[in-house]
Structure 1
Amino acid sequence: MPFDFEELGLGVMLIKPKVFPDNRGYFKEVFKESEFKKMGIPIPLQVNVSYSKRGVIRGLHYQLQPKEQGKIVTVLKGKILDVAVDVRRSSQNFGKYVYTELNEENHFMLWIPPGFAHGFQALKDSVVLYFVTHNEYSPQHERCINYSYVKEWNKNEVILSDKDAKCPPIDKAEVFE
């Protein structure tokens, strides 16, 4: 099996691909439909890449129904603290979040299902790859919650977009019912 899957909690899954190193470098599978289907992870519809300088926080973003998205996130270069926040008001876990470090050495990926806000802080200059499921990007359905909700981020070293700086706190945000 080319992947190990580990439940982090709240329905968020840590994906650990098998890495095959040799004297030339390494090889790994990043997505295999049959393996991901077994774990209930849908086929990606859109693939995105971002570059973030150390200290950048992107998020916490999500899209409302009917354009909700799931995301598979991995780091190609660098290191991030990746976070998923349950924004489903009807969930017993509403407002709870999980986080993990993703980096170029551990090769880990994070599956974030629809109904979660997603964000990360770059702990080093980082290139992040996102596989987006369910729906393509829809600006009119995009929402966010304020980055300060996550206590584990390094607040002494923060670079934000103007848009992310204006995100409301979770209790004032439009969320899933």
Structure 2
Amino acid sequence: MSATSAIDGVKVIPLRQIVDERGKIMHMLKATDPHFISFGEIYFSTAWPGAVKAWHIHTYMTVNNAVLSGRAKLVMYDIREASPTKGALMEVFLGEDNHVLVQIPPGIANGYKAYGDKQVILANAATHPHDPDEMQRMPPFTDQIPYDWSLRHG
């Protein structure tokens, strides 16, 4: 499937920013949002330009990602056996040019690559506290996921 195909259960939600001459407020997630599930923890992942942080596969946790600073290409690959979109790839470019929340359900391999000229700060509001036994990791360049992290032209 194409890298722009939607994946069942993944949501991309535009977020509000309130900007004035002092700076801005960047919304991410609140308990009254219709897509809010539960709160486990929030943490921040950073990456230098060109760095790839992938692949992560959660078994029961839903993650909610938004970029606070910089630019990231978030890539998802549906490996769920019973999913109608099994084998689908999806890319979302998020950050300073596209302030969105990407909600990723369990069973989706996901990771991101920082691009641009500064460090990325990605926030994750997860539905459960971190548990190292809850997540499977795969190297970013595994042949089990048909994705090329190199820069694409045209």
Higher relative helix content: 1
Counterpart secondary structure, 1:147: coil
Counterpart of 1:71 in structure 2 is 63
Partner of residue 46 from structure 2, selected from 45, 48, 51: 51
Structure 2 spans left out of the alignment, 5+ residues: 1-5
1:123 and 2:115 matched: yes
Q: Which moved more, 1:88-97 or 1:52-61?
A: 88-97
Match of 2:104 among 109, 112, 137: 112
Measured after TM superposition, the shift of residue 14 of structure 1 is 0.8
AA in 1 matched with 2:50: G
1:102 aligns with 2:100: no
Secondary structure of the residue aligned to 1:33 is: coil
Question: Structure 1, residues 64-86: CA drift from partner, whole Å, max 9, x if none?
Answer: 3xxx1111101111100001221
Aligned length: 142
TM, length-normalised to structure 2? 0.81
Residue identity over aligned pairs, in percent, reads 23
Judged with a 3 Å threshold, the aligned counterparts in structure 2 of structure 1 residues 54 and 112 are, in CA distance, closer, same or farther, namely same
Contact 2:8 2:84 in 1 (8 A): no
Kindly state the Cα deviation for residue 23 of structure 1 after the two structures are TM-superposed.
1.5
1:147 aligned to 140, 147, 150, which one?
140
- Unmatched 5+ stretches in structure 1: 1-7, 157-177
Contact 1:62 1:69 in 2 (8 A): no
TM-score (norm 1): 0.71
Q: Is the 8 A contact 1:86 1:94 kept in 2?
A: yes
Runs of 4+ in 1 over 2 A off after TM superposition: 144-153
Report the counterpart of residue 22 of structure 2 in structure 1.
Answer: 24
The answer to which of 135-144 and 76-85 deviates more is 135-144
> Given the superposition, is the C-alpha separation of residues 152 and 19 from structure 1 closer, same or farther in structure 2, using an over 3 Å criterion?
farther
Aligned residues: CA RMSD: 2.1
Contact kept in structure 1, 2:71 and 2:115, CA below 8 Å: yes
Write the letter of the residue equivalent to 1:63: H
Whole-Å separation in 2 of the counterparts to 1:151 and 1:114: 20
Q: Could you say which residue in structure 1 is the equivalent of 2:74?
A: 82
Alignment partners' CA distance in 1, 2:130 and 2:25: 30
Q: Aligned partner of 1:46: which letter?
A: E
